[in-house]
């Protein structure tokens, strides 16, 4: 009887996104020689030096998390995700702030690499492995959302809100001329919480137990799941299942900063999220991966279009 491959090494290296920002890429090697890698765009912070931040993350991966994962079964996703949370709980960082930001970035990258390693061991596509972990029977090809105009404080160009009117008119004209009226729609991610200060009037950053409050009070009907800020694969699965059963739309989001990692494409399909947002059309790696997944699924590929809030079926 063949022995299940186990994790042999966990390493991190410095890499860069499309804007030249530093981030970490995680490499996992298994005992049978199989290797996987995963990278996420850095969560970033304006208060600390990004290089120092990324360097500490890499050191934590190599010296603290990695050794604890060696010898473990990469197919045991839930156990390994929970183990990482336990390891990082209480560890202090040199920035004098909550370790949550660092933890989320670390766990996301490592958890993604573990998940891909598990799929390799089981010899199944990554999206199918994710679906199996979630108990999801139906995989859905997501509706893509492209960024056409970027502005405001998050874009750092201070493009005023009132300036969007002319931009919208041009986009609408282009949609009409191309013959896609009714098929392509315009949405806004206004980041309303940026408009207020300490009163947090528009702070809808719901996570964990706050999801239940938002569901009960019907204060939201959709959630933008940023895979680089949500932690492990297990945490993403639990959140998506909760929100889909409540009838919410869930959008898989990886940030405008492009990296070559395509995990988000498999996550969106495997969990049947229905929507994906990964930056401008130039973020081709994720969209090309979706085309490959669609081709592999063949007639099983389901595209729900506007009907994206159907609960997950088990």
Q: For the residues 198-221, what does the mean pLDDT come to?
A: 64
Residue 172 has pLDDT above 70, yes or no: yes
CB 245 within 8 A of CB 311: yes
Which residues does residue 39 pair with via DSSP β-bridges, in sequence order?
A: 25
Report which of 120, 117, 153 is spatially closest to residue 27, judged by C-alpha positions: 117
Region 134-160+203-300: CATH code? 3.20.20.120
pLDDT at 296: 94
Confidence of residue 97 (pLDDT cuts 50, 70, 90): very low
Q: Which tokens belong to 45?
A: 């912070």
Angle in degrees, 0-180, between the axes of helices 263-270 and 100-122, rounded to the nearest 10: 80
Residue 46 has pLDDT above 60, yes or no: no
Q: For the residues 28-57, what does the mean pLDDT come to?
A: 74
Higher per-residue pLDDT: 170 or 152: 170
pLDDT at 155: 61
Q: For the residues 133-144, what does the mean pLDDT come to?
A: 90
| pTM (2 d.p.) | 0.84
Angle in degrees, 0-180, between the axes of helices 233-245 and 100-122, rounded to the nearest 10: 90
pLDDT at 206: 45
Domain with CATH 3.30.390.10 in the chain: 7-123
Q: For the residues 73-96, what does the mean pLDDT come to?
A: 78
Confidence of residue 48 (pLDDT cuts 50, 70, 90): very low
Look over the chain and give the mean of its residue pLDDT values, rounded to a whole number. Answer: 80
pLDDT at 35: 94
pLDDT at 96: 42
pLDDT at 145: 85
Report which of 124, 173, 177, 125 is spatially closest to residue 148, judged by C-alpha positions: 173
Confidence of residue 43 (pLDDT cuts 50, 70, 90): low
Whole-angstrom distance, CA of residue 114 vs CA of residue 81 = 9
CB 76 within 8 A of CB 4: no
Superfamily of domain 7-123: Enolase-like, N-terminal domain (3.30.390.10)
Best mean pLDDT range from 129-133, 208-212, 301-305: 129-133
- Residue 9 phi, psi dihedral angles, 5° rounding: -140, 150
Whole-angstrom distance, CA of residue 184 vs CA of residue 182 = 6
pLDDT at 314: 41
pLDDT at 138: 83
Whole-angstrom distance, CA of residue 214 vs CA of residue 98 = 24
pLDDT tens per residue across span 31-41: 999 999 998 77
Whole-angstrom distance, CA of residue 25 vs CA of residue 32 = 21
Domain with CATH 3.20.20.120 in the chain: 134-160+203-300
Strand 249-253 and strand 274-277: the pairing is parallel
CB 228 within 8 A of CB 39: no
pLDDT at 259: 76
* Measured CA angle at 266 (ends 292, 2), to 5 deg: 95
16-23's contacts with Cβ under 8 Å and 24+ in sequence apart are 17/41, 17/42, 17/255, 17/257, 17/258, 17/259, 18/257, 18/258, 18/259, 19/257, 21/50, 21/257, 22/50, 22/51, 22/54, 23/54, 23/259
Strand 22-30 and strand 249-253: the pairing is unpaired
């Amino acid at each position: 009887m063949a022995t299940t491959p186990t994790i042999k090494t966990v390493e991190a290296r410095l890499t860069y996104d499309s804007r030249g920002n530093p981030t970490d890429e995680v490499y996992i090697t298994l005992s049978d020689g199989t290797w996987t890698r995963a990278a996420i765009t850095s969560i970033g912070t304006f208060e600390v030096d990004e290089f120092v931040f990324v360097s500490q993350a890499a050191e934590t991966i190599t010296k603290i998390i990695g050794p604890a994962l060696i010898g473990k079964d990469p197919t045991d996703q839930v156990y390994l995700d929970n183990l990482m949370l336990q390891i990082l709980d209480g560890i202090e960082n040199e920035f004098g702030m909550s370790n949550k930001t660092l933890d989320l970035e670390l766990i996301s990258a490592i958890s993604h690499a573990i998940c891909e390693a598990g799929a390799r061991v089981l010899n199944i596509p990554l999206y199918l492995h994710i679906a199996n972990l979630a108990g999801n029977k139906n995989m859905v090809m997501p509706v893509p959302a492209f960024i056409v105009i970027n502005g405001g404080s998050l874009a750092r160009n201070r493009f005023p809100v009132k300036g969007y009117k002319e931009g919208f008119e041009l986009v609408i004209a282009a949609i009409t001329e191309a013959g896609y009226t009714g098929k392509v729609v315009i949405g806004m991610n206004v980041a309303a919480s940026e408009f207020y200060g300490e009163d947090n009037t528009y702070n809808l950053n719901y996570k964990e137990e706050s999801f239940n409050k938002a569901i009960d009070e019907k204060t939201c009907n959709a959630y933008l799941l940023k895979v680089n800020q949500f932690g492990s694969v297990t945490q993403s699965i639990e959140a998506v299942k909760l929100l889909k059963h409540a009838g919410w739309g869930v959008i898989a989001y990886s940030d405008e900063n492009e990296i070559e990692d395509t995990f988000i494409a498999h996550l969106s399909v495997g969990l049947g999220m229905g929507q994906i947002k990964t930056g401008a059309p130039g973020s081709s790696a994720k969209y090309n991966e979706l085309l490959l997944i669609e081709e592999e699924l063949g007639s099983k590929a389901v595209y729900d279009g506007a009907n994206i809030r159907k609960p997950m079926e088990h």
